[in-house]
Structure 1
Amino acid sequence: MAALRDFCAKHLGAGLADRLVGLARPGFALTDAAPGQAAGHSRFGGRAVLEPGTPWPTCEGLPLSLLAVLDTDALAPWLGDLLPPGTGLLNFFHLDTESEQSDPAAWEVAQGFGVEAPEVGRVIAARSTHAVETGPPARSSIFAPVAWAAEPGFAFPDTWDHAWDTLHLGYEGSDYDAIEAFKDALRTELSPPGLLICEDMAFGRPIFPTGSSSVMSNGEDSNHYHHLLQLSSRYEWHLGGDGGWMHWSIPTQALRAGDFNKAIPTPDIW
């Protein structure tokens, strides 16, 4: 972070450096892990890892599908005090409407809510010392597991995110060229761990391939939320539509308190 601050001071002046660093958030690029290189139990797909007695999440009686698991015990050192100690495993669920395994009733249920509705997605934490692999109920999809390696770095807001406007840099967040030039310099001049460039990401800040930005369906300011997971469409699951990248976000206060009931899906889809 000290190297990042020096870089920002060099390119945009010492007066802006601290504010720019304040926009950067630590995160991880998630890639398919070689044997022995996985970040704990972090993976796409597979079975949920829940504490005994935890009910499987549903929407209108239809079970959600497990899409990913993040092992925060393996990620915590890079995240500082963002997570409460012992957060453990985060299970990410969503209503599967697009895969070949999708239940025929899922599409009708999803249309009644929309892909951004809290009811169609869920994040469930499980203490590592108590968690056990849990098979899905009938009508829930199960995807082939892909273990993830996690490369630390940091993420700035997406180019179109209105978070840039809060810095008063002399241009608005819609000034694509200015922000992209700053990011290009970051990519080429700052040694790893540097700017995250990835399709799948833990924490950090979301990327929007449709050229959009984070919008909360409840109308809240997205800057009061923290990004949890970005899941691209490169695996056997797909959100559908243009873009089709799933994100989950959570109010920053709830994240620091470990209240993952407040996490919501914030997808990038047209």
Structure 2
Amino acid sequence: MIDPEQRRERMTRNLARHVGTSLAERITAFAHTGVEMCTNSDIGEPLGISRFGGDALLPPGTGWPYDYKHPEIPLEPAMVVDLAVVGPMHPDGLLPHHGVLNFFAKSGYSCGAKVMHADPATAVTTSPPEGVQRHAEEALNGRTVLTAPGDEDLERLAPDLAQELEDLELSGQLNYAHKSIAESDSGDPKKDERFFGHLMGGFPSWQQATMFHGTEKAHLLLELSGGNRHFDFGGPSNSLYIVIKEQDLRAGDFDKAYGATQCR
């Protein structure tokens, strides 16, 4: 297992081959840890009672969630994440270290998404309404990864640094996006592109968006990858990004989380 400092050193080393040590160190300073999750038992470690699909674990007396844009359409249960395990793996975030998060989604271009926090000791195992797809239950495994900000996030974090990178790309010195280089194992995204599981926390892999909304910063609760046998968000390379504003995350108000469908 690579510790966080070794991971950061590798990210800096990968970037330095393309942009020089000074720029590489400045980019890496903004990197954040996330938790990558998938159902492949060869990837990472078991994440407690975390699982993809199956039934939801809802607080007593809670009704099933519906698409906010189409209130007549119930959402599908996507996954349950055990915060007692995943929370401590996410040192850069503000996730609680207790309970579970239920994630609900809907295939297609709809941004329908919902997040519900529950205590496993009192939660009620709830099956989706009739006619709603119940995905086969599969245990989730995970590992920590270090993620770099994309172009638009970097523009908000450090405009001067973003401009320097843009000048390098225009001159042909930077062959790939800096985020892809930073997150690959060898520094060559063509040879070992970062494994795309479902990402919780860190910087998402979207291409045309930012985690900033005006002066407010949002946090990634879940990047739910599409193009698999479970969900299709309008294209094989599309994902559903479930985000929450920082003030709502600090307050534990997961009801205010919202979804955005974009190409990664």
In the superposition, the TM-score normalised over structure 1's length comes to 0.73
Deviation digits for residues 103-146 of structure 1 (CA, Å, limit 9, x no counterpart): xxxxxxxxxxx623xxx221111123322321112232211122
For residues 89 and 168 of structure 2, the distance between their equivalents in structure 1, rounded to whole angstroms, comes to 31
For residue 95 of structure 1, report the CA deviation from its aligned partner: 3.3
* Identity over aligned pairs, percent: 27
Tell me: CA distance 1:115–1:130, structure 2 relative to 1, closer, same or farther (3 Å): same
2:57 equivalent to 1:49: yes
Q: Which residue of 1 aligns with 2:224?
A: 231
Q: Which residue of 2 aligns with 1:115?
A: 110
For residues 123 and 185 of structure 1, the distance between their equivalents in structure 2, rounded to whole angstroms, comes to 27
Q: Which runs of 5+ in 2 are unaligned?
A: 188-192
Q: Which runs of 5+ in 1 are unaligned?
A: 99-113, 190-194
User: Which of 192, 209, 214 pairs up with 2:209?
Assistant: 214
User: Which of 87, 96, 119 pairs up with 1:127?
Assistant: 119
Deviation digits for residues 232-259 of structure 1 (CA, Å, limit 9, x no counterpart): 2223322223633212111123223211
For residue 30 of structure 1, report the CA deviation from its aligned partner: 1.5
Q: Which residue of 2 aligns with 1:205?
A: 203
User: Which letter maps to 2:118?
Assistant: A
Alignment of 1:19-34 (within 5 A): 19-34=26-41
Alignment of 1:1-270 (within 5 A): 1-3=4-6, 6=9, 11=16, 12-13=20-21, 17=25, 19-34=26-41, 38-59=46-67, 60-80=71-91, 82-83=93-94, 85-96=96-107, 115-116=110-111, 120-158=112-150, 161-165=151-155, 166-167=157-158, 168-169=160-161, 170-172=164-166, 175=169, 177=175, 179-180=177-178, 183=181, 187-188=185-186, 197-208=195-206, 212-214=207-209, 220-221=213-214, 224-232=217-225, 233-241=227-235, 243-269=237-263
Tell me: CA distance 1:20–1:141, structure 2 relative to 1, closer, same or farther (3 Å): same
In the superposition, the TM-score normalised over structure 2's length comes to 0.74
Tell me: CA distance 1:141–1:184, structure 2 relative to 1, closer, same or farther (3 Å): same
For residue 226 of structure 1, report the CA deviation from its aligned partner: 1.1
Tell me: CA distance 1:5–1:27, structure 2 relative to 1, closer, same or farther (3 Å): closer
Instruction: Tell whether the 8 Å contact from 1:227 to 1:247 is kept in structure 2 after alignment.
Output: yes
User: Which letter maps to 1:124?
Assistant: M
SS in 2 for 1:188: coil
SS in 1 for 2:213: coil
For residue 157 of structure 1, report the CA deviation from its aligned partner: 2.3
Instruction: Tell whether the 8 Å contact from 2:11 to 2:182 is kept in structure 1 after alignment.
Output: no
Cα RMSD, aligned residues only: 3.5
Deviation digits for residues 83-118 of structure 1 (CA, Å, limit 9, x no counterpart): 35444211111234x5xxxxxxxxxxxxxxx623xx
Deviation digits for residues 155-177 of structure 1 (CA, Å, limit 9, x no counterpart): 1124xx31223332322399363
Number of matched pairs = 238
User: Which letter maps to 2:36?
Assistant: A
For residues 245 and 168 of structure 2, the distance between their equivalents in structure 1, rounded to whole angstroms, comes to 25
User: Which letter maps to 2:223?
Assistant: Q
Instruction: Tell whether the 8 Å contact from 1:57 to 1:63 is kept in structure 2 after alignment.
Output: yes
For residues 128 and 75 of structure 1, the distance between their equivalents in structure 2, rounded to whole angstroms, comes to 15
Instruction: Tell whether the 8 Å contact from 1:49 to 1:134 is kept in structure 2 after alignment.
Output: yes
| Mean Cα deviation higher: 80-89 or 230-239 | 80-89
| Mean Cα deviation higher: 22-31 or 236-245 | 236-245
